């Protein structure tokens, strides 16, 4: 089964084939405050995780989620810029597999779409791994629950 790798330094998420080759790569945005697993740190956790839940099957691109539930609002790129990084389109919820990152699920660390697509490629999230909305749909469709993901510095 393929696995994922997020490089914080490169601001990239790669889908890796069984032989280790990169089959697909996406630009991302990780935490503005850097890396770490401490509760309330707003940092992106390092290490091995797995996708424990997927939320947003067939939701319209730009669907706004709060508490993992659609709000009824659909963000459009023509909407006024909001400072807050919204959780949009799809959610892949991460669960840490290592002692030091076991907090990831309780910290609600996700891979998700964002209204701040202009910031993709720069560290600007509150801990999550953000993708462009079209990219998170593609990733969501390619990765089953249980897919492993390594987040590296």
Which positions are catalytic?
112, 128
CA distance 54 to 90: 8
Return the closest-CA partner of residue 74 out of 132, 46, 65, 18.
65
Half-sphere exposure of 119 (CA within 13 A, CB side): 20
CA distance 97 to 101: 7
Q: How many CB atoms lie within 10 A of CB 133?
A: 21
Is there a contact between 130 and 118 (Cβ–Cβ < 8 Å)?
no
Is there a contact between 48 and 58 (Cβ–Cβ < 8 Å)?
no
């Amino acid at each position: 089964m393929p696995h994922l790798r997020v490089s914080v330094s490169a601001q990239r998420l790669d889908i890796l084939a069984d032989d280790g080759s990169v089959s697909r790569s996406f630009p991302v945005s990780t935490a503005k405050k850097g890396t770490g697993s401490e509760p309330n740190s707003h940092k992106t956790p390092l290490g091995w995780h797995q996708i424990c839940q997927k939320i947003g099957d067939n939701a319209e691109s730009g669907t706004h989620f709060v508490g993992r539930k659609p709000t009824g609002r659909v963000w459009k790129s023509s909407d006024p810029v909001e400072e807050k990084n919204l959780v949009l389109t799809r959610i892949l919820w991460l669960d840490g597999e290592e002692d030091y990152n076991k907090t990831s699920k309780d910290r609600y660390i996700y891979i998700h779409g964002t209204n701040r697509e202009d910031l993709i490629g720069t560290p600007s999230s509150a801990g999550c791994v953000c993708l462009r909305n079209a990219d998170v749909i593609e990733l969501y469709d390619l990765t089953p629950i249980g897919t492993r993901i390594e987040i590296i510095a």
